[in-house]
A = this chain, B = another copy of it.
Amino acid sequence: TGLASQTLVRAMSSSSGPTSPYTTLSISRPAEAITHVELHRPEKRNAMNKAFWSEMVHCFNEITVDPECRVVVFSAAGKIFTAGIDLMDMAGDILQPEGDDTARISWNLRKTVTSYQETFSVIEKCPKPVVVAVHGACVGGGIDLITACDIRLCTQDAWFQVKEVDIGLAADVGTLQRLPKVIGSRSLVNELALTARKMYADEAKSSGLVSRVFANKEDMMAGALEMAGEIADRSPVAVQGTKINLIYARDHSVADGLNYVATWNMSMLQTQDVMKSVQAAMEKKSPKAVTFSKL
Contacts and interface: CB of A to CB of B under 8 A. Distances in A.
Contacts of A257: 176-177
Interface string A171-203: 111101110111111111111011111000000
B287 A246 contact: no
A260 B275 CA distance: 27
Given A113-B266, A167-B274, A254-B250, A208 B188 contact: yes
Nearest to A230: B195
Contact of A190 (B180, B206, B246): B246
A239 B194 contact: yes
A93 B242 CA distance: 21
Which bucket holds chain A's interface residue count?
Answer: 35 or more
Contacts of A167: 238, 274, 277-278, 281
Contacts of A117: 258, 262
Contacts of A193: 242, 246
Contacts of A239: 165, 194
Copies in the assembly, this chain? 6
Given A166-B277, A242-B194, A270-B106, A261 B151 contact: no
B260 A260 contact: yes
A168 B258 contact: no
A230 B161 CA distance: 14
A178 to B, nearest CB: 6
B106 A266 contact: yes
Given A107-B266, A241-B170, A261-B176, A102 B271 contact: yes
B187 A208 contact: yes
Interface in A218-254: 227, 230-231, 234-235, 237-239, 241-246, 249-254
Contacts of A38: none
A271 B106 CA distance: 10
A104 B263 CA distance: 13
A57 interface: no
B271 A104 contact: yes
A101 B227 contact: no
Contacts of A55: none
A34 B263 CA distance: 27
Contacts of A51: none
B254 A251 contact: yes
A28 interface: no
A185 B206 CA distance: 9
Nearest to A226: B195
What 6 A-B pairs are tightest by C-beta distance, nearest first?
A184-B184, A185-B208, A103-B271, A267-B267, A170-B241, A251-B253
